[in-house]
Structures are given as structure tokens and as C-alpha cells.
Amino acid sequence: MTSFKELFDTYAWEDVKASIYNKTEADVISALQKSKRDLEDFKALISPAAASYLEQMAKLSQQISLKRFGNTIQLFAPLYLSNECNNICTYCGFSFDNKVRRKTLTEREILQEVEVIKSMGYDHVLLVTGEANQTVHVDYFKKAIELINPYFANVSIEVQPLDLPEYEALIPLGLHAVLVYQETYHREDYKKHHPKGKKSNFDYRLDTPDRLGKAKIHKMGLGVLIGLEDWRTDSFFTALHLSYLEKKYWQSKYSISFPRLRPFSGGLEPKVDMSDRELLQLICAYRIFNEEVELSLSTRESEKFRNNVLKLGITTMSAGSKTNPGGYAVEPEALEQFEISDERSPSQIAKLIKSQGYEPVWKDWDSILNPKTN
Amino acid sequence: MLKIGNYIFESRLFTGTGKYSSASIMEDSILASGSELVTVALKRVDLKNQIQDNLLHKLNHPHIKLLPNTSGVRNAKEAIFAAQLAREALEIDLIKLEIHPDPKYLMPDPIETLRATEELSKLGFVVLPYIHADPVLCKRLEEVGTAAVMPLGSPIGSNKGLKTIDFLEIIIDQSNVPVIVDAGIGAPSDASKAMEIGADAVLVNTAIAVSPDPIAMGNAFKLAVEAGRIAFEAKLAPQHTGASASSPLTSFLDD
């Protein structure tokens, strides 16, 4: 198998969907009782048949997470560098056709933002941009990473997919992780939601984790935007992707996020609604299926939900996030990519984590461990 | 008493610092365990700002030595670089070499570990490498100057106990350096067993940190390690093999 696309092309969306919805309670029980689970077990765990086993799934998920990750939750902050974007994405506040003022932070502005994020206690930062290859390109990222690196133990990016040599150039500068969500694995629906821009190329995006693996990135993040298509089928393909990558690029670590479509000004209504109960089912299913993968929960989710699920499988959280460039210091009022739901500050979230008998971890990497160039 | 490099330890229980619900509980559990050598992941501490680092602050007790570990590096080169910075920043020449390029199962890379051990030993480090329970690798590490070997009992963090016991016994039988059983010890009985078969020490983290009562568990491991060591020194009574009165196979000799 030279790329995930080869494997992906052997699956048909409707067959996978039918197979998930045909899973029975017996399949769910069998999946819960095994010590090692495969993709068929994952299908059972995300199926409607597993809904009545949620309490059991939550208990198991909690136990497994505790063994691997201990009583800890890692914290990170997103830092939006730019909302310039040449793509049309029907669900995104930064979409090209959304008439908002565009901004890309200058080096000075980046440092202003850094100061505020550092003062909140953060040591891990995620740099986020839209996709504007004329101005926010690999040279911009190089400069940003070099600028930020002295201040943070760990720097990740969530930007447009890049070519292999570009990733290889960024990693030695201190780039630790790259998050690239497929949005949906439904090829036709993907086209509908991404009608214009470089992002409309489904296959290039699908191939991105392969390029990251070849570049030997320390960690990559996968996920789909929940609400675009049937979340169960999309999650199966995410798990399939994860399994393929783990075996092939065994030196990389993986994380999964489950962003649910959030409102933004002039945005799309979700095609598929996912309830809190279903999101918890998905979180537990991932954990039971894969004991080592990191599971990340953002401020898109409500206070109540985050308070209650942080011990049930989640390993990583953001808090106090601003989703507009300059949001922390430069221009706090500008338009956001999406509305966040949990608006509590990082110190409030840290307190909450402690009150549940967990330790908030601000630092779990050090630049001295970064790959060395010859 | 256990000697590693020029360091002497009364306690044969080494501990870790990860997975605890708070730094205070970590401190109390380690104190309850009586451990004198505590491993700390370089990635978790702030080397540039040690005074404010909460974890280092909690480990500041006269009887506790820090054992920095290189968790996160993927090859010998990265490990050597990290070890040198750790020695400079923490003023400690002890290093727990952890080179596990596989972040899923955290399996140690024997080739890179051997390389790094050789280089770091030459640079004057007291090297404690985390390895598979591979008897030949242990001898090769001895040849390049390792201060001890740290074979795994089962996968790290798995709490599965001494799955590698047959290989651990060979390692202990052959070793000229201290043998510290490092990973997978899930219960005090596992630690006792490792000590009974002659391990010089054990390193325990997850089983203490993730226990609902880590402080009591720290004490339980302390007692288990002491009991296992006393049993090893006293020598176990032979196991009953079901001797029979008559000697059908050799009685012809008496005819």
C-alpha cells in the first residue's frame, strides 16, 4: 500500500454505512469484552446498537485512559495568525465569499499575542490560519515558528496542507505536530462543501497524513467536521485512516479531534445533528478501540459537557481560546472563525481539572528533544 | 546496599513522576515509598526555570536523587544532545536512557540505545538504559560501559507484571552490573517476585500513580521490595517436588 488513497478506494461509503447500522447488540457486547479491538469492533461501538451500553463504555474508556495517560489533562492554546483564505468552505467563517475584513498578523503582532498566551500559563501552542498561499505560505510559517519557538515548549500548526519538502523544512525549526482534518471522507459531499480553492482537491488533502508520515512528524491530528455527513461513517473512515497510518508511520503519534459544526455569521446549518450523548459515545468508542491515541476536546463544546467528559477518555483540551487573528491582544473584537461555547479562562479550566482530581499539564515537551539537523 | 556508578542506595525501589493527580500527591507517594532515585522526564520540567518548576520543587528532599530521562527522543543523536543539556542544567551525571521511537507501545530501540550508551559513557555519564529483556544486549551494554541495565517486565504502563521472567533470570544470572526491572510492574507482588529472582532494584510508576490511594500503594511497594530482597538473600526453600519412597529407576543398583 503506497498511500491511504489505495486503501480508501477499496471501500464504498454506502456499504460501510449499512454495515455500521446493521451492527447488533451482540456485536457491541463482543467488542466490549475483547482485550484488543479491530475496525469491526469500532463499527459496533459507534453504531446505534451501542447506545444503550454507553454507561459501560464510559467506565471502560475511563479505566483505559487512566492506565495510559494517568490522572492528567494536557492544555494548549490556539493562536490564529491569519483569516485570509482563498477557499470557499460552506461552513467556515473565514470562507473566501464571506465578506469580512481579512488580517494576517505581523511579527510584532504575533509577539503581542504570545505575551498574553504565555501569561495565561500556556507552554503548548497551536498556530492556525486559513489558506492564502500568496501571503500565508511556507516562508511565513518558517518565520512564525522561529519567532515563537523560544517562548513555547511545543509548537503545532493547523494550516493548509503542504508539500512534503515544506513539512521537512518546518520540522527542524521546531514544528512538533500538524493537524489536518479531512472534514468529510464523503467524496461528493466534500466537493459540495469545498467548491473553490486549493482545498477543493479531495485527494491532495487525503494524502496529507502520508506526506507528514514521510516527513517523520512527531505527531499528527486527524478528524472530520461533524455535521457535514453521517458522523458514524465519517468516523469509521477516520479510524481506518488512523489504523493505516499507525502501522505505516510507526514513529509518529496521533491525535483525534471531533469538532461539531458551530454557528458563525452567515453560516451553514448542520446537515446531521449529533447529540451530546452521541459525541460521548464516539469519544468512548475511540478510546476503547485505540488505547494510545490522544483525544482532544475544544472550546466548541459547552461547559457542562466539558466538565463531565474530561475524565471519560479525553487527554487534551484548549481553554480561553480566541478564534480570530489578534484575538488575545491585538484586536479582541474582530470576527471569529466560529463561536466558542465554553468561554472560561485557562485558570478556571485548570481549577476545574484539579477539582476533579486530575493534574492540568502545561508542559509535556521540550525543545531540547526536537529533531536535529545535521 | 546498592551501588550504581558512585551512588549508593539504601532503597531498591526506584520511582517515576508521571500520571499523578497532583504534584503534592506525587511527593507524598514517593516519600511513602522510601525511594531514593526518582526519574523525571525532561519534557515535563522547565530546565530554564528550575526554581519555579513545581515538579522539581516537590522532589527537593536530601535523600532523593533525580534520574532525568530522555523520553521523547527517537535516536542516539537526540538522546545524547538531551542528556548533555540535562547534565548542564540539573548538574546530575545520572541519565535514564529512553529511546523509544515508537510512541504507541514505547518499545525501546536496542540499536540506538547501544550507540547512545557507548557515547554517553565515554562522556562520563552514569547511564541507565531502558531496554527489552534481551540478555545479549545486556552484555553488549556492559562492554560499552553501562552503569546498569533496565530490562522491561512487560510493556511500559501495562501493569501486566513479569511477562519476560525467563529472560530476566538469564540477564540476572549473567550480569556484572545492577539489573533494574523497569516496566510493567503492576502490583507489589510483581515487585517482590522481581526481587526474589535477584533483581537489584525495580522501577515503578504507573502502578503507584494511578492507584486510587497512591500514598498507601507507595508504602506497599516499599514493603514488597524489602520483603523480596530479604527473601532473595535468605534463599527460598526448595519447592516440594513430590518425592516418592521407592526408587524404581535406581533400585537395581542395590540388588
For residue A285, name the pLDDT band (cuts at 50, 70, 90): very high
User: CA–CA separation, B161 vs A212, rounded Å?
Assistant: 36
Which of A15, A17, A8 shows the shortest CA–CA distance to A232? A17
| pLDDT per residue as tens digits for the range A38-63 | 999 999 999 999 999 999 999 999 99
B102: nearest CB among A72, A251, A369:
A251
> pTM for the full model?
0.91
Per-domain residue ranges of chain B:
7-236
> What is the share, in percent, of chain A residues with pLDDT greater than 90?
80
Q: Which residue of A has its CA nearest to B208?
A: A70
Q: Catalytic residue, from B96, B160, B163, B222: name it.
A: B96
A363: nearest CB among B44, B74, B158:
B44
A358 touches chain B (CB under 8 A): yes
Q: Which residues of B touch A370 (CB under 8 A)?
A: 78
- Assembly ipTM: 0.83
Mean pLDDT for all residues in chain A:
93
> Angle at Cα B244 formed by Cα B239 and Cα B249, nearest 5°?
115
| pLDDT per residue as tens digits for the range B193-206 | 999 999 999 999 99
Please answer yes or no on whether A72 and B72 come within 8 Å at the CB atom: no
Tally of structural domains, chain A: 1
- Mean pLDDT score, A308-316: 95
Q: Which residues of B touch A369 (CB under 8 A)?
A: 42-43, 70, 72-73, 78, 82
Which of B106, B108, B104, B112 shows the shortest CA–CA distance to B133? B108
Please answer yes or no on whether B19 and A153 come within 8 Å at the CB atom: no
| pLDDT per residue as tens digits for the range A182-191 | 999 999 999 9
First to last CA, chain A: 31
Neighbours of B118 (CB within 10 A): 18
| pLDDT per residue as tens digits for the range B145-158 | 999 999 999 998 88
| A344 in any annotated domain | yes
- Output the known binding site of B: 157, 183-184, 205-206
Tell me the CB-side half-sphere exposure of residue B63, using CA atoms within 13 A: 12
Query: What is the DSSP track for A258-306?
Result: -PBP---TT-PPPSS---HHHHHHHHHHHHHH-SS-EEEE-TTS-HHHH
Please answer yes or no on whether B209 and A71 come within 8 Å at the CB atom: yes
| A374 in any annotated domain | no
Amino acid letter, residue A113: E
- Mean pLDDT score, A317-328: 91
User: CA–CA separation, B52 vs B72, rounded Å?
Assistant: 23
A204, burial (CB in 10 Å: exposed 0-12, middle 13-18, buried 19+): middle
Q: How far is A287 from chain B (nearest CA, A)?
A: 13
- Mean pLDDT score, B70-86: 95
Please answer yes or no on whether A369 and B157 come within 8 Å at the CB atom: no
Task: Please provide the CATH number assigned to the domain covering B7-236.
Answer: 3.20.20.70
What Rg value do the Cα atoms of chain B yield, rounded? 20
Which of A337, A346, A268, A273 shows the shortest CA–CA distance to A306? A346
> What was the pLDDT predicted at A374?
47
| A241 in any annotated domain | yes
Q: Which residues of B touch A246 (CB under 8 A)?
A: 104
Most A-contacting residue of B46, B104, B185, B217 (CB-CB within 10 A), to test interface: B104
> What was the pLDDT predicted at A335?
67
Residue A106 has pLDDT above 70, yes or no: yes
> What is the share, in percent, of chain B residues with pLDDT greater than 70?
98
> What is the share, in percent, of chain B residues with pLDDT greater than 90?
84
Please answer yes or no on whether A363 and B43 come within 8 Å at the CB atom: yes
| pLDDT per residue as tens digits for the range A247-280 | 999 999 999 999 998 766 556 777 778 999 999 9
Please answer yes or no on whether A359 and B23 come within 8 Å at the CB atom: yes
Neighbours of A67 (CB within 10 A): 17
Q: Which residue of A has its CA nearest to B186?
A: A67
Please answer yes or no on whether A369 and B210 come within 8 Å at the CB atom: no
For residue A373, name the pLDDT band (cuts at 50, 70, 90): low
- Mean pLDDT score, A314-335: 87
| pLDDT per residue as tens digits for the range A328-366 | 988 776 667 777 888 899 999 999 999 999 999 999 999
CATH of the domain at A296: 3.20.20.70
Please answer yes or no on whether A246 and B104 come within 8 Å at the CB atom: yes
Which of A68, A130, A76, A54 shows the shortest CA–CA distance to A324? A130
- Output the known binding site of B for 1-deoxy-D-xylulose 5-phosphate: 157, 183-184, 205-206
Residue A199 has pLDDT above 60, yes or no: yes
| A202 in any annotated domain | yes
Q: Is B96 a catalytic residue?
A: yes
Q: Which residues of A touch B42 (CB under 8 A)?
A: 366, 368-369
Residue A119 has pLDDT above 90, yes or no: yes
Full residue range of the structural domain in which residue A190 is found: 4-369
For residue B243, name the pLDDT band (cuts at 50, 70, 90): low
| pLDDT per residue as tens digits for the range B96-127 | 999 999 999 999 999 999 999 999 999 999 99
